[in-house]
Amino acid sequence: MSNLQAKEARGFTLIELLVVIAIIGLLSSIILASLGTARAKAADATIKENLFSIRTQAELLYDQSRNCYGDGGDNDCNTNSLSAQACPTAAPSITDETILENVQIQTALIKSGDLSSGQGMNGAYCLTTAGQTAWAISVPYKSDNNLGWCVDSTGKSKEVTMDIGNNDYGFSGNQCQ
């Protein structure tokens, strides 16, 4: 009887405890890796939402500004020469507001660039026509910098391939590729 009682009082062996700890560690590393991927995908979705909001705000500006996206300082909405540029960081002028100087659009660009690369507007890429009649904006994804989301004044909104090192921002002319 005492031999049976001694077996019942005995706890787990060191090997059994180490195996359980190893299994818990393995499962937690899988979960943490999945959470990192989920965070990046959530950031990508937020980038898309910010760019959708930019398109909506640009169309409101278009309706308020004689059917152009701001007067660009020259009061000419018929000029079609294109200029690719980094998004402006200067404070907007109330009397001469272009699409990229609009406060709501700048805010969405800053948020998207921060999510993508932590660089604010320097992480977003913009193109406008000289007369502000057309525009395109793209931001690389956080999860994959070779892909990004692009919106333009024609209504396109799509995933694009980007090669920042070779100045390929996912748009050509004033449209998403």
Reduce the DSSP state of residue 65 to 3 states and report it. coil
pLDDT score of 7: 57
Reduce the DSSP state of residue 74 to 3 states and report it. coil
Please state the φ and ψ torsions of residue 140, each to the nearest 5 degrees.
-70, 150
Percentages of the chain per state (helix, strand, coil), in multiples of 5? 45, 20, 35
pLDDT score of 72: 43
pLDDT-flagged residues of the chain (< 50): 71-96
Name, in order, each residue with C-beta under 8 angstroms of 12's C-beta and a sequence gap of 6 or more: none
Structure tokens at 105: 């659009």
Sign, CA dihedral 63-66-72-76, equals positive
Structure tokens at 78: 């018929």
Say how far apart CA 128 and CA 98 lie, in whole Å. Answer: 10
Q: How many CB atoms lie within 10 A of CB 110?
A: 19
Decide: 132 and 71 in contact? Cβ < 8 Å. yes
pLDDT in tens, 123-149: 788 887 766 678 888 888 888 888 999
Name, in order, each residue with C-beta under 8 angstroms of 24's C-beta and a sequence gap of 6 or more: none
Helices (H) and strands (E) in the chain, counts: 3, 7
Please provide the distance, in angstroms rounded to a whole number, between the alpha carbons at the two ends of the chain. 83
Closest CA to 131 of 64, 173, 75, 84: 75
pLDDT score of 159: 92
* Exposure class string for 66-89: b at 16+ Cβ within 10 A, else e: eebbbbbeeeebeeeebeeeebee
State the pTM of this model. Answer: 0.68
